[in-house]
Amino acid sequence: MGEPESYVSSSHTVAELKAMCKENGLPVNGKKADLLERLNHYFSDDAEPDEEEMISLEDESISMEEEIVSLESESVPLPVIDDDEEIMDAEVLEAEFVEEIEQVFAKESKKSKTLVDQIKNPKVAAVLLSILIASAGWYWYVNNQLKPFTADDLRYGDSMEYTLLNGELEVTGEYVELIRDNVDVDQLNNSCRLLMTFSGIGTTSVTDGGTSELDFEPDDSLKGVVRAKGAYGLDWLTVEKVQTRNFNNIALKSYNPKVFQPDECKTGDSIYSVGGSLEFDTKSWTEISERDVIATEADWKLTLGEDYTQGKTVSNGLGGILGLLEDVAPGVAVVISPIELREMMGTQLIDTGATGTHLGWDWNVIGADEVGGEKMWKVSLENNQIRDNCFGHARITMWLTEDSPWAVRQNVDVYISGNEGDKTACGTISERLADVVLPDGKISMTLEMSMNSLTRGDKLLDLGRSYSSVPNAGAYVPTSEELVDWGDYDLHMPDNSTLRSETLEDAMECLSDGHVSEAVAASAALSDGGYIWRARDNRSQSGVTVWNLSWVSSDPNSGWVKLELTGDASGENCTYIAHGGNDETVAHSRSDIPAVLSISMMEDDLTDQTRYPALSGPDGPFTSDGEYHPETRVGILVVTPDSDFTDWLSVIEAGDAGATTLDMTRSWTTTRTIGTGSNPIIQQWEHTFSLAMDAKTGQVVGWNLAESLL
């Protein structure tokens, strides 16, 4: 049996197919394949004719002459045909029509046929072709022009796959350190410049949650949402957005400082070059009633040569380099994913000359552009905060179509630097601000994205809707009675832990009671208005706690002292280990120290497994019984700005100038057996966990788990 006859081919554009569907009273929704199937079925012999399809030319009440007169009265100009031969063909067809019209009418009066049957008749086809030349040509011409549109809202189940090409990331200075924090490769330890090229495949999607997410709701009207935890460990109903990126072609080059000029990085041949791959998946959860992003999660698997690292980061904002830049210039994180058109452009009509601003991005619709044979709207974007604050530039060019809620093509160009590049066009204030708030060094990135496929869901997102199971947002917000304002007079933030035997209070007693006489500078500073701005313990040895205490005096001078405790503070239990000075400048500003929770109260929150289940167990800082793993280290950090920088920092972030955080870290190794039988593979893995918690608000800032194959 031969292939079924096709009346409409895939050479037609989507716009043409939709126009044909509309012309024949068919639905215009769906992908290109759906439109082709719908039209071919409509025009096939198997299609059941309906009353609208049953056309008898004998019953036509409009003559050809009347039709032509009507068409001539239209104000839309007809396309100009310059080919004389085509004009002659049209005249011949019209002549045939005049000669054969009575004969055609006589035949068709015997039996009514479908439109397809009539088209198959050469004589009728000639008539229809004449009409097409005389009239419908303008319709097809107009329909193929790009029409302005308003960006469509996202729906549950929306998904787009795209290709990433010509990606290049270059970092120098302190930006290199941010990458090294998550990549455990010895060859990068001395790097001052990293250059990475990459390409691969990515997806962006909106999860379509099931009814199991609605256990505490009275009905299924919010189906599609996903239940997720926020900074206080409470469960919220959210829209879950997922990004996957599989960079299967990575090339990394590392450059070390010059031997005789350590402040400059080498150029030319790299000291270390390696290929590899990276899988980098992210999720974000947007609470539906207030539309706030309550959490983000990143999972990655990185292979560089023979080194393999994998990990997970959970944050109530963005982490790493993008988190830093997002604080400085909100909205810059969009450079790594296809842009959501409705979020960026709102309900504004996308047409030539349209402009707008969203999250620091100025956008401008340049006009229509043809890419790969398809017409699209071309839009340029630039981050005005990065530009106006003299941080560098962040620019995006994107191409849009009405069918996709995301940009279908996107080119990215980012260059950010606090102390590099030409700043001659910057004002004095902008230039100094860039030097203060950005790390030393630069970050630059270029990449191209283009859509491969698009799948649309059915139900619109439930953003802005209330729900029955909304938690009490203030249930775990610290009260004024719970916060301790120690900054004015005390020596350190309160600890009072019942989970650890040797607390910060015990360590301070070793100093204040004179049990470690070698710590002369620390004792003098603390007795003259100084305080502890950094403290960290180590309980890896059973029955012993080592405290490293960093102090700052009112001079201000800063130093540290390390001591060992084996019980309550006494001459026998307090042992001096070492002391020294701090290289970095530490500000002394008691008035900028915020009131905070005690470490004990924060431990009570973190060990609540209903709120933070991921923190207890084999991969967290706590055991499943709510005790500390012996490898877990506890620390505090009190940050107050230098007086020279306070005014500048207030431009970036309002509120208290100082901040206090609780941090926990844990490093351990495990053995895994892969396979069974006589030759199993034994693997050694190194794990590192880190967590930060805001001691003022009681919110978990985020946590990170990195795992490396040894």
pLDDT, one tens digit per residue, over 234-282 is 999 999 999 999 988 888 888 888 877 777 887 777 777 888 898 988 8
The span from the CA of 136 to the CA of 130, in Å, is: 10
The band of 37, judged by pLDDT with boundaries at 50, 70 and 90, is confident
The span from the CA of 75 to the CA of 270, in Å, is: 68
Question: What pLDDT was estimated at residue 108?
Answer: 38
Lowest-confidence segment of 300-309, 311-320, 474-483, 632-641 by average pLDDT = 311-320
- DSSP assignment of 552-598 equals E-SS--EEEEEEEESSSSSTTTEEEEEEEE-SS-----GGGPPPB--
What is the pLDDT averaged over residues 539-549?
94
Question: What pLDDT was estimated at residue 359?
Answer: 80
Cβ distance 321 to 177 under 8 Å?
no
Q: For the chain, give the mean pLDDT.
A: 78
Residue 165 three-state SS: strand
Closest CA to 268 of 254, 283, 287: 254
Judge whether residue 456 has pLDDT over 60: yes
The span from the CA of 539 to the CA of 490, in Å, is: 25
Judge whether residue 582 has pLDDT over 60: yes
**Residues 156 and 270 placed together within one structural domain of the fold:** yes
Residue 460 lies in a domain: no
**Residues 248 and 154 placed together within one structural domain of the fold:** yes
Look at the chain and count its residues. 710
As to burial, measured by CB atoms within 10 angstroms (0-12 exposed, 13-18 middle, 19+ buried), residue 681 is exposed
The span from the CA of 501 to the CA of 264, in Å, is: 48
pLDDT tens string 688-702: 999 989 899 999 988
Distances (CA, A) of 80 to 32, 71, 133, 145: 30, 15, 11, 17
The span from the CA of 136 to the CA of 132, in Å, is: 5
**Residues 194 and 112 placed together within one structural domain of the fold:** no
Q: Which two tokens stand for residue 638?
A: 């009190």
Question: What pLDDT was estimated at residue 51?
Answer: 41
The band of 642, judged by pLDDT with boundaries at 50, 70 and 90, is low
Query: Which has the higher per-residue pLDDT, 561 or 104?
Result: 561
What is the pLDDT averaged over residues 92-119?
39
pLDDT tens string 325-376: 444 444 445 567 899 999 999 999 999 999 999 888 899 999 999 998 899 9
Residue 600 lies in a domain: yes
Most confident of 88-102, 501-515, 572-586: 501-515
Residue 647 lies in a domain: yes
The span from the CA of 710 to the CA of 27, in Å, is: 59
Query: Which has the higher per-residue pLDDT, 433 or 361?
Result: 361
Lowest-confidence segment of 19-23, 289-293, 360-364 by average pLDDT = 19-23
**Residues 175 and 87 placed together within one structural domain of the fold:** no
Residue 524 lies in a domain: yes
Residue 20 lies in a domain: no
**Residues 509 and 653 placed together within one structural domain of the fold:** yes
- Structurally, the chain folds into a number of domains equal to 3
The band of 383, judged by pLDDT with boundaries at 50, 70 and 90, is confident
The span from the CA of 170 to the CA of 175, in Å, is: 9
Question: What pLDDT was estimated at residue 379?
Answer: 96
The span from the CA of 381 to the CA of 613, in Å, is: 41
Residue appearing with tokens 């950005």: 438
Question: What pLDDT was estimated at residue 387?
Answer: 84
Q: Which two tokens stand for residue 696?
A: 């003022």
**Residues 72 and 154 placed together within one structural domain of the fold:** no
Question: What pLDDT was estimated at residue 461?
Answer: 95
Residue 466 lies in a domain: no
Residue 705 lies in a domain: yes
Peptide bond into 556 cis (omega under 30): yes
Q: Which residues pair with 454 in a beta bridge?
A: 160
- DSSP assignment of 37-74 equals HHHHHHHSTTSPP-TTT-B-GGG--S-HHHHHHHHHT-
Judge whether residue 314 has pLDDT over 90: no
Judge whether residue 381 has pLDDT over 80: yes
Count other Cβ atoms within 10 Å, centred on residue 603: 25
Judge whether residue 194 has pLDDT over 80: yes
Residue 350 lies in a domain: yes
Question: What pLDDT was estimated at residue 76?
Answer: 37
Question: What pLDDT was estimated at residue 88?
Answer: 39
The span from the CA of 107 to the CA of 617, in Å, is: 85
**Residues 132 and 205 placed together within one structural domain of the fold:** no
Query: Which has the higher per-residue pLDDT, 102 or 296?
Result: 296
The residues, any chain, with a CB within 8 Å of residue 673's CB and separated by 6 or more, are 680, 681, 682, 683
**Residues 123 and 156 placed together within one structural domain of the fold:** no
Task: For residue 366, give its domain range.
Answer: 150-455
The span from the CA of 451 to the CA of 162, in Å, is: 4
Residue type at position 14: V
Is the torsion defined by CA of 177, 181, 182, 183 positive or negative?
Answer: positive
**Residues 56 and 185 placed together within one structural domain of the fold:** no
- Picking from 92, 127, 145, the residue at the C-terminal end of a domain is 145
Please enumerate, as own/partner, the contacts of 544-551 that have beta carbons within 8 Å and a separation of 24 or more. 545/500, 545/501, 545/502, 545/507, 546/577, 547/502, 547/504, 547/507, 549/507, 549/508, 549/511, 549/522, 550/582, 550/586, 551/522, 551/525, 551/526
Enumerate the H helices of 244-339 as residue ranges: 320-328
Q: Considering the chain, what percentage of its residues have pLDDT values greater than 90?
A: 42
Residue appearing with tokens 């199937």: 37
Q: Considering the chain, what percentage of its residues have pLDDT values greater than 70?
A: 75
Judge whether residue 641 has pLDDT over 90: no
**Residues 216 and 289 placed together within one structural domain of the fold:** yes
Longest dimension (CA), the chain: 122
The span from the CA of 235 to the CA of 226, in Å, is: 10
Judge whether residue 665 has pLDDT over 90: yes
Judge whether residue 482 has pLDDT over 90: yes
**Residues 644 and 532 placed together within one structural domain of the fold:** yes
What is the pLDDT averaged over residues 30-39?
82
Judge whether residue 321 has pLDDT over 60: no
The span from the CA of 599 to the CA of 605, in Å, is: 10
pLDDT tens string 64-90: 344 333 333 333 333 343 444 443 343
Q: Which two tokens stand for residue 469?
A: 């199971």
Tell me, yes or no, if the pTM score tops 0.75.
no
**Residues 123 and 170 placed together within one structural domain of the fold:** no
Cβ distance 51 to 112 under 8 Å?
no
b/e code 557-591 from CB counts within 10 Å (16+ = b): bbbbbbbbbeeebeeebbbbeebeeeeeebbbbbe
